[in-house]
Amino acid sequence: MDFRNSNRLNIFVNVLSGNFLPMTSKKTKLPILFKIYSIIVWLIELVYFTACIFGLFCVPREKALKDGTVNLIVLLEIIVLSVYLHSRKNLLHELIGKLNHLIEDNEMLRDITLSIAKPIVKSLTIYTIANTTAVVVWIALPLLEILRKNEFYYSDYGVPAVISNEPFSTGIFIGGVALQILGAAYTIIRKIGLDLYTMHFIILMTAQYKYLRIKIATIFKQEPETLCNNIVKRNISSGNERTISHEMRLLTRHYETVVEMAVMLRKLLSPNIGILYVEYVFRFCFISFMLVTICYCLFCCLFFQTVGFFPEKCLFIMYALSLLIQFYILCYSIQKLIEASETVTDDVIHEKWYFHDVSLQRAIVMMILTNKLECKLSSLQSIDLTLPSFMSVLNQAYSICLLFLKARRE
Q: Quick check: 244 and 360 in contact, CB under 8 A?
A: yes
pLDDT at position 355: 64
**Angle made by CA atoms 228, 231, 237, in degrees to the nearest 5:** 85
pTM: 0.85
Could you give the CA distance from residue 390 to residue 278 in angstroms, rounded to a whole number? 12
pLDDT at position 225: 43
Could you give the CA distance from residue 185 to residue 17 in angstroms, rounded to a whole number? 9
Q: Quick check: 236 and 358 in contact, CB under 8 A?
A: no
Within 8 A by CB and 6+ apart from 300, the residues are 306
pLDDT at position 252: 82
Nearest residue to 141 (alpha-carbon basis) of 55, 73, 191, 67: 67
Q: Quick check: 25 and 94 in contact, CB under 8 A?
A: yes
CA 164 to chain centre: 36
pLDDT along the chain (410 residues), means of 10: 82 90 86 92 90 84 76 87 91 91 85 88 86 86 84 83 82 88 90 91 92 82 48 49 75 87 91 89 84 65 52 77 89 92 76 66 74 78 84 88 74
pLDDT at position 264: 92
pLDDT at position 153: 83
Could you give the CA distance from residue 280 to residue 74 in angstroms, rounded to a whole number? 9
Burial bucket for residue 350 (CB in 10 Å: 0-12, 13-18, 19+): exposed
Cα separations (Å) of 258 from 68, 93, 122, 136, 362?
43, 16, 27, 41, 19
Indicate the SS3 state at residue 95: helix
Tell me the angle at which helices 69-87 and 238-303 cross, rounded to the nearest 10 degrees.
160
pLDDT at position 198: 92
Q: Please give the biggest Cα pair distance in the chain.
A: 95
pLDDT at position 353: 62
pLDDT at position 223: 43
Could you give the CA distance from residue 309 to residue 312 in angstroms, rounded to a whole number? 5
B/e letters for 211-232, b = 16+ CB within 10 Å, e = fewer, are: bbbebbbebbebeeeeeeebee
Partner residues linked to 41 by β-bridges: none
pLDDT at position 200: 92
Could you give the CA distance from residue 402 to residue 285 in angstroms, rounded to a whole number? 9
